Structure 1
């Protein structure tokens, strides 16, 4: 396994890369040809390039790209695409390159990658390899978060045309429609020998520092060796709406040292009644669930001035 510095040097010197773009992501179809042209213009020798029109084929196509032995596997799409690529590249001697073409692009924000395509390509040209953590929902790696309750319903039911039209604002709009008939949950999080109880419509367990395109706390990140568990809003619909609106307008006002955040490296999550679970926007069964952490599991190409603990 090469060091981060050696892998960075090989990427800069050899420009051996594979490009895979999910054309079902918000800007994937629109920008695929542009992205390929920008990479070629930057001197990348693309060992393979593919626009994926059927998202279920992403794991196979990404695996075929990895088999070509690139130094950099470039994934273009939203958080679901990036999460799929990250699972494949966990503990591999290949860096993940990010082209944020999705709706909220949470992991790209966590990795300090610009959302502008040209600037994202510039990161691949002049950036450096950093190590980031992955979460583990059972045995399934994830980049961003596990959502339980209303959040899972929203992520799984938000219409694709609405996401293309409104971007991240499609999620709160979908939530408003679902909230009228959603009942709050009694949620228990067991960690470090203690039990923490919440009464809320939804709870998140996050690996990275962003959710729904917003920071979740002032000091949460994907290289801090911690998972963050936190409810959004209380048991009443009004509390949830007020907190969600405040966070959307101003961002989070709390840090991990303050309630309601619980920062640990492993936890057990259960609910008073079975509740649906989504992992990085994809269905992942229901509660209860063990959630853990794989520290330094993923190598990512990030800006040269990105923090690297």
Structure 2
């Protein structure tokens, strides 16, 4: 039987994967695969989980949210591991899995993985770190970092909105210089979002994005206070952002970001990102993903 490395975060999605372990094993055995499980501890020790990966594995299956999958991607890219990846979305938002059409139901997700060939997909890189969905900075972009896992598991994406409302009094503009071959901005902004995926916190923002086009989708929120509230309303409603007041949207292969604000931090899929200055670029065909739907 062919071997599959199965890495799971037992705390993701209110421990949902724990009750589904037998289903994962049974479905794989039915298709001629043997599961070799690795449980991520509280420190998300990917090196320990992947310690035997040089053996003859057919693919890697990971159960977790966007942040957990990013940890795996970084481990693989830094070590030149190019095995296909299957994703079982177990996080709160699961933005990337939704973007590429992977259902949250485990049986359906695994069925898609076994019925389709792995597909080459782009990934993003911000300085020395890789990401699947979005790199960001500024307004609300560190909400996930500041939201406790217990709250996420209890009330899901509503936890992000609650934490976001708490931050409204601290909204402030950030001085930045942003350069790329396809768009530039120098001045004060509220937020920068650079998408390899399409959504952030289940908000459909980068609606032009394609998972294998070799491009990043860049959104800069530069509204003044009078423009900010109606602009946020458009974002929350999921309106298409065809040149609205106070916002820039363009696609590019890479961008460079500088700021003089020493307090500002970057975020990668809900986790703390690297320090400024930032070099964010697309890595075309960076990974192989199983079970990709119609995108």
Tell me the TM-score normalized by structure 2: 0.87
Q: Which residue of 2 aligns with 1:56?
A: 44
Q: In the TM superposition, what are the counterparts of 1:138-177 in structure 2 within 5 Å?
A: 138-177=127-166
Distance 1:97 1:268, change over 3 A: same
Contact 2:47 2:75 in 1 (8 A): no
Tell me the TM-score normalized by structure 1: 0.84
Aligned counterparts of 1:214 and 1:194: Cα–Cα separation in 2:
23
Distance 1:267 1:24, change over 3 A: same
Is 1:271 aligned to 2:259, yes or no?
A: yes
Give structure 2 stretches of 5+ with no counterpart: none
Moved more, 33-42 or 292-301: 33-42
Distance 1:53 1:62, change over 3 A: closer
Distance 1:169 1:253, change over 3 A: same
User: 1:40 aligns to what SS in structure 2?
Assistant: helix
Aligned counterparts of 1:55 and 1:45: Cα–Cα separation in 2:
29
1:166 deviates by 1.9
Q: In the TM superposition, what are the counterparts of 1:36-47 in structure 2 within 5 Å?
A: 36-42=22-28, 43=30, 45-47=33-35
Residue number among 94, 99, 105 corresponding to 1:105 in the alignment: 94
Aligned counterparts of 1:260 and 1:39: Cα–Cα separation in 2:
47
Distance 1:240 1:71, change over 3 A: farther
Higher helix share: 1
Distance 1:262 1:272, change over 3 A: farther
Distance 1:38 1:48, change over 3 A: closer
Q: How far does the alpha carbon of each residue in 1:110-141 deviate from its partner, in whole angstroms, 9 at most, with x for none?
A: 22111222211212221221011111111211
Aligned counterparts of 2:230 and 2:160: Cα–Cα separation in 1:
15
Q: How far does the alpha carbon of each residue in 1:127-159 deviate from its partner, in whole angstroms, 9 at most, with x for none?
A: 221011111111211111111113333121112
Give structure 1 stretches of 5+ with no counterpart: 1-13
Q: Which residue of 1 aligns with 2:193?
A: 204
Residue number among 238, 243, 250 corresponding to 1:262 in the alignment: 250
Distance 1:272 1:37, change over 3 A: same
1:49 deviates by 0.8
Number of residue equivalences: 289
1:241 deviates by 4.6
